[in-house]
Amino acid sequence: MKLLFTPVLLSAALAAGLSHAAEITVVNFGGANGAAQKAAFIEPFQKSGANKVVMVEYNGEMAKLKAMVESKKTSWDVLEVESGDIGRVCEEGLVEKIDFAKIGKKADFMPAAIHECGVGVFVWSTVLAYNADKLKAAPKNWSDFWNTAKYPGKRGMRKGARYNLEFALMADGVPTKEVYKVLATKAGVERAFKKLEELRPNIQWWEAGAQPPQFLVAGDVVMSTAFSGRIDSAQREGKNLQVSWAGSIYDLDYWTIPKGTPNKEAAEKFIAFASSAEAQKTYSTKIAYGPANVTALKLLDAKTLASLPTSANNAKDAVQNNLKFWTDHGEDLEQRFTAWASK
């Protein structure tokens, strides 16, 4: 009996070992966000005895995902995407549908974190940031951002339509609660582009999240739109960069599983691990982004909570990104923006 079953047991053990050693690729936006994910999600996941993880950085290029899926050569297992992209990649069948029962309890998550094709990773915010060492008077809102007479110099802005159109309308006097109502009209879109045109000579575009703090510290721009967590990271490094939260736009990034990955089960386990309250709490202590798993808020101290986009003070005059608006109109508006910016 011993001789009979030994090969079978050995074969099972080898199979288990190979499965255990399977490597998964997690793709994110790198920088401070990537470093926080490595410390809060990736390293603890590996230490738990789960799969080895290779972290890859990208800038949100969906064309590569589409090429992988269409060629049936998917090498990414877990992919972080912005909310403006998740609707489209879901509709186009580029990512797997999510079985939330394998992730956690829906009641533990903020409603916006639950998507048929994704799981919220964290809540982040695009804010008005400035270098307090270089400006005597702090800008308070987007009207100040547009005021080049009072604040001469370049403005850093992300190269894209999303958020810039909203900021332009706020600078033109639209209240935060009415931004998407106005932007949903043809007249509102024209108004936003007209306001952007006013600022065009003073704009310095950025594409990677690490650039705004660099521009601000170097003095290349006097203020910039920026991801709040990137400014928090610069502050931790001793830089005197500050944030005006009025009119900030908060949003979520989502975990997705690229269609056709051979490691779907391991990908689900990673997302479940990264979505746990403890992992989410650790992430928010590494970078000032709010947890998508709201039970993690109870684990955070007052100092950490005060720097998160989801804190009461910071969110009181903020705008939640309208996912449906950008899913419905994003492609057309981005095309128009690209044509405008290239003139």
User: What does the alpha-carbon distance between residue 300 and residue 305 come to, in Å, rounded to a whole number?
Assistant: 6
**Cβ atoms 226, 33 nearer than 8 A:** no
Residue 2 lies inside a defined structural domain of this protein: no
Q: List the beta bridge partners of residue 213.
A: none
**331 within some domain:** yes
Pair (195, 325) in one structural domain: yes
Residue 302 lies in a domain: yes
Same domain, 155 and 60: no
My answer on whether 329 and 305 are in the same domain is no
Q: Please indicate, yes or no, whether residues 151 and 241 belong to a single structural domain of this protein.
A: yes
pLDDT of residue 59: 87
Looking at the structure of the chain, the number of domains it has is 2
Is the residue at 1 inside a domain? no
Residues 154 and 197 in one domain: yes
Number of H-type helices and E-type strands within the chain: 16, 11
Q: Which residues pair with 108 in a beta bridge?
A: none
List CB contacts of 263: < 8 A, sequence separation 6 or more: 22, 24, 51, 77
- 157 shares its domain with 228: yes
Q: Quick one: CA dihedral 132, 138, 139, 141, positive or negative?
A: positive
74 and 156 assigned to the same domain: no
What does the pLDDT look like over 277-319, one tens digit per residue?
999 999 999 999 999 999 999 999 998 998 899 887 888 899 9
Mean of the per-residue pLDDT values for the chain?
91
pLDDT tens digits, one per residue of 14-40: 444 444 558 999 999 998 899 999 999
Task: Outline where the chain has alpha helix (H).
Answer: 2-20, 31-37, 43-47, 62-70, 83-91, 142-146, 164-171, 179-183, 186-199, 211-218, 228-236, 264-274, 277-286, 302-306, 312-315, 323-341
DSSP-assigned letter for residue 96: P
Residues 260-278: tens digit of each pLDDT: 999 999 999 999 999 999 9
Give the whole-angstrom CA distance, residue 308 versus residue 298. Answer: 14
> Could you tell me if residue 9 is inside a domain?
no
The answer to whether position 86 is within a domain reads yes
Residues 131 and 193 in one domain: yes
User: Are 237 and 178 part of one and the same domain?
Assistant: yes
* Local structure of 248: helix, strand or coil: strand
In Å, how far are 121, 159, 193, 202, 261 from 162, measured between CA atoms?
Answer: 20, 9, 12, 19, 30
**What domain range is 87 assigned to?**
14-123+252-314
**pLDDT score, position 183:** 98
Has residue 6 been placed in a domain? no
pLDDT of 19: 43
Q: Which one is predicted more confidently, 82 or 167?
A: 167
Q: Residues of 115-147 as b/e, b for ≥16 C-beta within 10 angstroms?
A: bebbbbbbbbbbbbbbbeeebeeebebbebbbe
Which amino acid appears at position 319 of this protein? V
Taking residues 4-16, report their average pLDDT.
Answer: 42
Kindly report the CATH number assigned to the domain that includes residue 229. 3.40.190.10
- The predicted model gives 98-120 an average pLDDT of 96
Q: Please indicate, yes or no, if residue 4 is contained in any of the structural domains.
A: no
Range from 11-15, 143-147, 216-220 carrying the lowest mean pLDDT: 11-15
Q: Are residues 153 and 198 in the same domain?
A: yes
What tens digit of pLDDT does each residue of 112-149 get?
A: 999 999 999 999 999 999 999 999 899 999 999 999 99
319-320 and 241-256 beta bridge pairing: parallel
Mean pLDDT (whole number) for 318-325: 90
What pTM did the predictor assign? 0.75
Same domain, yes or no: 24 and 158? no
Task: Report residue 164 as tokens.
Answer: 């810039």
Question: Same structural domain for residues 235 and 328?
Answer: yes
Mean pLDDT value across residues 68-79: 96
